[in-house]
Structure 1
């Protein structure tokens, strides 16, 4: 039995049927998320962005995550569940991304036995629950989460505590979304559009299933997504002209992340649904 299984040993499952996962769209919330990013594009100062850079560099939980093919397959399945569950629960894109960062930071520090798939299921549930508590205004009770198995609440809470202790209770972190609006404005100026941001978000979520988030800093993910969405590959010249605030050592990370995003492709609707949001002033997003 693995160390995780030992920590969580007990009666894990309820006898009731688990809630089934059925995808439901929440287009307005996703569009509003992009709208808020576009509003901040021109207003975010370089001083504020530099502060975010320093914050992500001091965070420390970045580096190559190990694990064989079986673990990566289990992780991909867990990420798919998180992305589907956040739609069902009408959680934000931010919440989904933070959930996956918790998952990846945990896997960076602990080993999971791939022969015990229930551990990854329980871990993904705990990560989504913790992210919801950090990011959402209203969090439904655990029985409403569309888990693959109907775990006892105490089992989920034990896993949440294990995640908290493993991550040393450092749950507040920068995400690519705080950089996207600024980078879009720097690259495209006044031509930066909400559609560019939508495509950038789509690229991020298209790549998230196969990309361990601890491999890249959030700012590198954001920059790569903007370049992918704009159709222009990042070069040292374009970085110096459009995003001079980024230091040159970051270019390799951005290039690697960009290539992953292009390979994964931006699947419309993975991140942001394409439904129009009609505002009260008559304009469309």
Structure 2
């Protein structure tokens, strides 16, 4: 039987005493659409407000942060998100909240319940902001979880996440840029927006995004760079493409960084296919199956 964890048992160890049920703040949640280069440039300028701490990736690579804990939290978000068939934006938002939280606060060492509780809170907040039909917080604990939390415990964790992130929840993620990036390449190819209108192309783009943000290697790139690289990679899968010229389409981004991200996506995809040629067909996904980055 799953364990029941009560918030009072961790109050002095994990939760802040100044976080109570009356805590509130101005939550920004309206997602801005990108219609032209000017709007894109504005979004690129704003995306830095939603980055994890600058040393986040460094601390993972040198063992100061628990990579396994992040992976466990990500996989739990992935599973619960798939269970409810939520949209891609809520998935990317939840992962953004997870990374920003972990870059700022340290989870209790050796406490597996804390990882699951944080994942529940991140997805619950993201779903409330983005989804039209949202289950009760306790219903996010799907498929026989190891721990089962009471609603008041989840709510307290949600408040802790909101407070830690300064109530800045309208995060800019790769999903924020993907439509614009695909349309930009459509203009480049003059193909009547086939790329951006095709559900297969959009789904494949979301597959790539969901797979590469699982690992830590792509944390070095900005969401706008990831979206551009994903759009280029997906386009290159279905038609010939001059990668260098395609990278140059995104005039507000560093061409070299976009190209390096494209190369990493290609290498990551090839490595996963070599490890298991059936991985893509057998891996569940919020958008469809996708190879996972290491």
Alignment TM-score > 0.5, same fold: yes
SS in 2 for 1:7: coil
Matches within 5 A, 1:211-230: 211=216, 214-230=219-235
Q: Secondary structure, in 3 states, of the residue corresponding to 2:77?
A: helix
- Is 1:98 matched up with 2:93? yes
Change (3 A) 1:89 1:198: closer
Residues 95 and 135, structure 1, Cα contact 8 Å, conserved in 2: yes
For 1:52-201, list aligned pairs within 5 A: 52-61=43-52, 63-65=54-56, 66-67=59-60, 68=63, 71-147=66-142, 148=145, 149-189=147-187, 190=191, 191-192=194-195, 193-201=198-206
SS at 1:6 equivalent = coil
* Aligned-partner Cα distance in 2 for 1:260–1:108: 27
Are the structure 2 counterparts of residues 45 and 126 from structure 1 closer, same or farther at C-alpha, using a change threshold of 3 Å? same
For residues 44-84 of structure 1, the C-alpha deviation after alignment (integer angstroms, 9 at most, x for no partner) is: 21111112111113445353422439821221122111111
Residue 46 (structure 1) aligned with residue 37 (structure 2): yes
Q: Gaps (5+ residues) in structure 2?
A: 1-9, 17-32, 274-278, 290-294
Counterparts of 1:11-22 in structure 2 under 5 Å?
none
- CA distance in structure 2 between the aligned counterparts of 1:80 and 1:123, rounded to whole angstroms: 12
> Given the superposition, is the C-alpha separation of residues 58 and 236 from structure 1 closer, same or farther in structure 2, using an over 3 Å criterion?
farther
Structure 2 equivalent of residue 267 of structure 1:
280
The CA deviation at 1:229 is: 1.5
Indicate how the Cα distance of structure 1 residues 247 and 116 shifts in structure 2: closer, same or farther if over 3 A, else same: same
Q: Is the 8 A contact 2:77 2:94 kept in 1?
A: yes
8 A Cα contact 1:95 1:128, kept in partner? yes
- Offset at 1:216? 2.7
1:243 counterpart SS class: coil
2:276 aligns with none
Shift of 1:144: 1.5
- Residue 238 (str. 1) matches residue 243 (str. 2): no
Q: Distance in 2 between matches of 1:125 and 1:111?
A: 17
Q: Is the 8 A contact 1:216 1:253 kept in 2?
A: no
Task: State whether residues 80 and 141 of structure 2, in contact with CA within 8 Å, keep that contact through their aligned partners in structure 1.
Answer: yes
- Could you say which residue in structure 2 is the equivalent of 1:203? 208
TM-score, length-scaled by structure 2: 0.70
Contact persistence 2:51–2:100 (CA under 8 A): no
User: TM-score, normalised to structure 1's length?
Assistant: 0.72
- Contact kept? 2:14, 2:108, Cα under 8 Å: no
Aligned residues: 240
* CA RMSD, 1 decimal: 3.2
For the residues of structure 1 that align with 2:211 and 2:64, how far apart are their CA atoms? 20
